[in-house]
Amino acid sequence: MTKPAQDTTHFGFETVATSDKTGRVRGVFDSVASNYDLMNDLMSGGLHRIWKHYTLERTGLRAGDVALDVACGTGDLAAGMSKQVGDDGLVVMTDINAAMLAEGRRRIINRGIVGNVVMAQSNAECLPFADDTFNCITISFGLRNVTDKPVALRSMARVLKPGGRLLILEFSKPSLGAIQPLYDLHLFKVLPALGKYVAKDADSYQYLAESIRMHPNQQEMLRLMGEAGLEDSRYYNLSGGIVALHVGYKY
């Protein structure tokens, strides 16, 4: 596929002006926020909970640590990390989308989590935190929606403490070619249909399916992480590579 010029980028399969993508992605998540968890369960058959649990097992967080959940959505990872850091630690939830952040705040409150979780609306490409702040940063199913992924990766690496780690949980390229046709059927037929009949928004889920296809594969992600200054990066394929967890460190 032809690489877009610098003043354009991909919005799913569509080429759009770079300056327009953030607003269009915001519109998608404004639309899906209220049904986000239900749709995640339906789209993944509940597997997203297992993938997130696997991610939480690899945060390396200890009591008193400080963590950041970028593109936090409804706060599944933040909730898990709040238990890991304890009352003396802190988890910051951040999302560029106000509707998603509000939904995340509601879910965190409903879980009874108070005291060690705070929220900030911000863009992953220019995180408003000091250098060397966080022991661990997570971003779950959010990086593919970022306009400039290399800039976002550098931003996250900047605010990591030396010795800290970045965990990127994202859809990726299946490692078993035999499952690709079924995967494509799920992405481009099932997801939009679920969006139409459950969330009443087929277009947003068509974009989300296309954004999965356009996201860098496992090896390309390793390259981007290295260019961002992260070291010893590796990935773990989950569900046959449908999803991959990338882990990189700042030394």
Chain centroid to CA 120: how far? 16
Distance CA(168)–CA(170), nearest Å, equals: 6
Residue 127 is classified by DSSP as -
Residue 11 lies inside a defined structural domain of this protein: no
pLDDT at 26: 75
How many domains does the chain divide into?
1
Burial 67-85 (b: 16+ CB within 10 A, else e): bbbbbbbbbbbbbbbbebb
Residue 134 lies inside a defined structural domain of this protein: yes
pLDDT at 179: 87
Residue pLDDT tens, the chain, 251 long = 444 446 889 888 888 899 888 888 777 777 777 777 777 787 788 899 999 999 999 999 999 999 999 999 889 999 999 999 999 999 999 999 998 999 999 999 999 998 999 999 999 999 999 999 999 999 999 999 999 999 999 999 999 999 999 999 999 999 887 888 888 898 888 888 888 887 788 888 888 889 989 999 999 999 999 999 999 999 999 999 999 999 999 99
Domain that residue 112 falls in:
20-176+205-249
Residue 229 lies inside a defined structural domain of this protein: yes
Distance CA(112)–CA(174), nearest Å, equals: 37
Residue 12 lies inside a defined structural domain of this protein: no
pLDDT at 6: 61
Note the helical H segments in the chain: 18-32, 36-44, 47-56, 76-85, 98-110, 149-159, 180-185, 191-197, 202-214, 218-227
pLDDT at 234: 98
Q: Which two three-digit tokens encode residue 23? A: 């607003």
- Give the CATH number of the domain where residue 120 resides: 3.40.50.150
Q: Which two three-digit tokens encode residue 59? A: 């945060």
pLDDT at 2: 47
Entry field: residues in the chain: 251
Residue 195 lies inside a defined structural domain of this protein: no
Residue with tokens 């200890």: 62
pLDDT at 248: 98
pLDDT at 111: 94
Residue 100 lies inside a defined structural domain of this protein: yes
pLDDT at 204: 82
Task: Provide CB contacts within 8 A for 80, sequence distance 6+.
Answer: 52, 53, 56
Residue 152 lies inside a defined structural domain of this protein: yes
Residue 3 lies inside a defined structural domain of this protein: no
pLDDT at 119: 96
